[in-house]
């Protein structure tokens, strides 16, 4: 099973006897905007037009807990997450396809959460909504209640201590932009820089100009150049565990398992006792 699906394949599957559950997770990182510019409203975007049958899922409220010492997008309460997925019609025996506005970060966060909590068949629409060539709908469906019960896996999740250890013993990838990794700018968190030993690996380099993932072989070569080999333990972090989920997805496309540090830099940098490295050198 691949972790992604093309728009053409999704269109075909939606006409079959067992169409996938569709989740629309349109979201944008909330950063300072020009004076008077409205904040992004994923629910309004969904209402204006979505793939027929898709159910809107709110990343900030349903795929993350409240911001705090564990980061800006910590793990959600699993009971609340499970209830949200069941409201959306998610069942363990039916495939799920997730999409967003094209960046892929939010869809990857939903993909990672569902996979980590035990759903056996979840894919992300490669290229997101911009890749879709079919009609759009303004009708919000009322799916039958699903039966999905989250059952977190023992692997695939890092806390701050495990991330620090992995930076020493394996490969810890930093999915943020290079200038944030180097500590040249930090528009959101308390301090700039990176976890000592982490390797800069911007998520944007996993996709082509059309926003779709690079071929698996190219992704594998990219990660190999960053120090990832067949026997390497790999982890990923970003600012708050969203774009890093996209990198975990890219690694999955390349056939490489990886763990996610959900708290990411927003958690790490909030504690002044934790070390911070700056510059291009990992250490």
Q: Active-site residue numbers?
A: 238
| Selection from 27, 36, 216, 6 nearest residue 132 by Cα | 6
Taking the CA atoms of residue 88, residue 90, residue 95 and residue 96 in that order, the dihedral angle to the nearest 10 degrees is 40
β-sheet with 234-237: strand ranges across? 157-158, 259-261, 234-237, 171-174, 199-200
Check if the beta carbon of residue 24 is closer than 8 Å to that of residue 99. Answer: yes
What the block records as the tokens of 24 is: 């629309």
Angle between helices 243-253 and 105-116 (to 10 degrees): 70
What the block records as the tokens of 254 is: 């390349």
The conformational region for residue 35 under phi > 0 = left, psi -120 to 50 = alpha, else beta, is beta
């Amino acid at each position: 099973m691949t972790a992604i699906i093309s728009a053409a394949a999704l269109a075909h599957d939606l006409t079959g006897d067992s169409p996938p559950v569709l989740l629309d997770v349109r979201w944008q990182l909330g950063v300072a905007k020009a004076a008077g510019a409205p904040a992004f409203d994923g629910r309004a975007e969904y209402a204006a037009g979505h793939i027929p049958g898709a159910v809107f899922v709110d990343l900030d409220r349903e795929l993350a807990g409240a911001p705090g010492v564990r980061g800006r997008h910590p793990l959600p309460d699993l009971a609340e997450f499970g209830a949200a997925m069941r409201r959306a019609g998610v069942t363990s025996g039916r495939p799920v396809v997730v999409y967003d506005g094209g960046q892929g970060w939010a869809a990857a966060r939903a993909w990672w959460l569902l996979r980590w909590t035990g759903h056996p068949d979840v894919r992300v629409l490669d290229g997101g909504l911009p890749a879709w060539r079919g009609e759009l709908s303004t009708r919000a469906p009322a799916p039958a209640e699903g039966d999905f019960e989250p059952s977190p896996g023992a692997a695939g999740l890092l806390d701050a201590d495990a991330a620090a250890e992995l930076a020493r013993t394996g490969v810890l990838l930093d999915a943020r932009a290079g200038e944030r990794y180097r500590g040249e700018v930090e528009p959101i968190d308390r301090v700039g820089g990176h976890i000592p030993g982490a390797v800069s690996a911007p998520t944007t380099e996993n996709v082509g100009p059309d926003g779709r993932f690079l071929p698996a072989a190219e992704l594998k070569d990219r990660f190999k150049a960053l120090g990832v080999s067949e026997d390497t333990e790999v982890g990923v972090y970003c600012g708050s565990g969203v774009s890093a989920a996209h990198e975990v997805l890219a690694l999955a496309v390349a056939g490489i398992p990886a763990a996610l540090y959900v708290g990411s830099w927003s958690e790490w940098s909030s504690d002044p006792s934790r070390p911070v490295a700056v510059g291009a050198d990992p250490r």
